[in-house]
Amino acid sequence: MPSLFLAAGLMLPTAPAQAEWRRAETANFIVYGEGSEGDLRPHAEKLERFDALLRRQFNRPALEDVRKLPVYLLHTRRDLAEVFPAMAEAKFAGFYSASETDVYAAVNRRGDDDLLFHEYAHHFMHQNFPGFYPGWFTEGFAEFFMTARVDNPERVEMGGFNPGRIQTLNQSRWLPVEDLLSKRPRDFTTREQRWAFYAQSWLLTHYLLADAERRRGLDAYLADMGRRVAPVEALQNRLGHTPESLTAALRAYLRGEMKYVRFSMADIQPQVRVESLPPSADRMLLYSLRSRYPQSPQDAAALLERTRSDAARYPQDRLALVTLGRAELQWGDLVAGEAALTRALAVAPEDAEALRLLADARLKAANAQQDPAERGRLVREARGHLARALDADPTDYRIFAALARTRRDAADYPNANDLETWRLAVAFAPQVMRLRLEAAEALAKGGEAEEAAELLDVVANNPHEAGTGRDGAAD
């Protein structure tokens, strides 16, 4: 399941749906939302400033040829429930998904930024310095930066606190330091323990980053963790604390004056290009997101029928045709799905998504084929579609992964080209744990055991799941 954001406070009344959707593209994001350009543009600029803030803090250059993160800004609980139905029964502010299907976020635009920034901090960490980190630092890093305020470039703030975390620290029982240093959120069985873990992780990270000497000690501590030194031993050797003295220091720090910084980033002027989406987006955009997840037979049938009905209103629309094609391939008629995708390519000949989905259809047909010659022909067709898709979008990790998978039955798999294809798949989506597992398997088989182990270190470091390839558990 996607990583869910629990909404704080009361849900606001829903507003009438607005028919016009827009797309705002920046250096690192593609932001979708309803409403005016003047409403959408500030959201895109704010995300770019947050990315720039992280890069400045860690002296990381802007990446070229990176896959941009799609962010869907939704107005109402109805829209969120359309994408992820469980939200109809609970108050969620949105979710982040990192799977082999896609990497994106969908959020209620009326909420605050903390939870989206938290997940983007994880996204940024995997993209820029993947490795093995203790669970408290993985979450503490995200908790520390999620409270940044970047609305106004003249008044950027970093180091503030989340009121809920402060309340937990002041009113709840603290976890033993030994557990804090050695466990991850999924290791705790109660909500109170998990909340304590996030709150104490934030406090420890804040404490260590607030002082230059402690920050140097943190760097040495993390290096020890990468070498699998015992956490309490590294704590004593690198940070000069026993579990008892660290607890005392953190309680004193919480009672004292916690530092935050305010500075200008006026030199950061995000470039944003906004365009209107076709009228079909009012329905088909959310159907497109919903159809990426497994559905119950009843929900799948209902979604397929709605997709067919609404897509019929836009017979020459690329978004409608691709969404219909995906739904038919998933739950409907294979021939109808391929026909819809073929019509989409007649409208947009180099549409990467249509080509990739058409390749998936060929590969599914190949897997069901008993005749080796016919199976080989279908695989070659699929590879042809994937090659065209790659020309259209050379940053789509799903295309690289599909190409690598088509080679698995070859006698010489994995050859050098196969390994490079897997490396590129991971490079464009380092947040997707399933890709790391598959790439590590190929690398190990190809004699690159050390590189495979590095990929698996990141899987072990995943804050949400133990490397199952799922989208993640709730934060």
DSSP code string of 249-265? HHHHHHHS----EEE--
**Among 163, 141, 150, 165, CA closest to 262:** 150
| Those residues with Cβ within 8 angstroms of residue 51's Cβ, 6 or more apart along the chain or in another chain | 27, 28, 29, 120, 124
Task: Please tell me whether residue 467 adopts helix, strand or coil conformation.
Answer: coil
Bridge-partner residues for 22, per DSSP? 33, 276
Four-point Cα dihedral 167, 172, 174, 180, nearest 10: -70
CB hemisphere CA count around 50 (13 angstroms): 29
User: pLDDT at position 466, please?
Assistant: 43
CB 467 within 8 A of CB 433: yes
User: pLDDT at position 12, please?
Assistant: 31
Reported for 120-124, long-range contacts at CB under 8 A and 24+ positions apart, including other chains, are 120/47, 120/50, 120/51, 120/69, 121/54, 121/145, 121/146, 122/96, 122/431, 122/463, 123/69, 123/96, 123/98, 123/431, 124/51, 124/54
State how far the alpha carbon of 95 is from the alpha carbons of 22, 82, 145, 185, 227, in Å: 20, 13, 18, 17, 33
Q: Residue 286 corresponds to which tokens in the numbers above?
A: 């959310």
- pTM of structure: 0.88
State how far the alpha carbon of 163 is from the alpha carbons of 6, 154, 207, 459, 466, in Å: 14, 24, 17, 31, 30
User: pLDDT at position 79, please?
Assistant: 82
State how far the alpha carbon of 461 is from the alpha carbons of 55, 103, 138, 219, 365, in Å: 21, 18, 8, 17, 36
User: pLDDT at position 461, please?
Assistant: 72
Per run of 10 residues, the mean pLDDT along the chain (length 475 residues) is 40 45 96 92 95 92 88 84 69 82 88 87 91 92 95 89 93 97 93 96 96 94 93 96 97 90 89 96 93 89 96 97 96 94 96 97 92 94 97 97 95 97 96 95 97 90 51 35
Which H, E and C letters describe 232-253, residue by residue?
HHHHHHHHCCCHHHHHHHHHHH
User: pLDDT at position 6, please?
Assistant: 39
User: pLDDT at position 87, please?
Assistant: 59
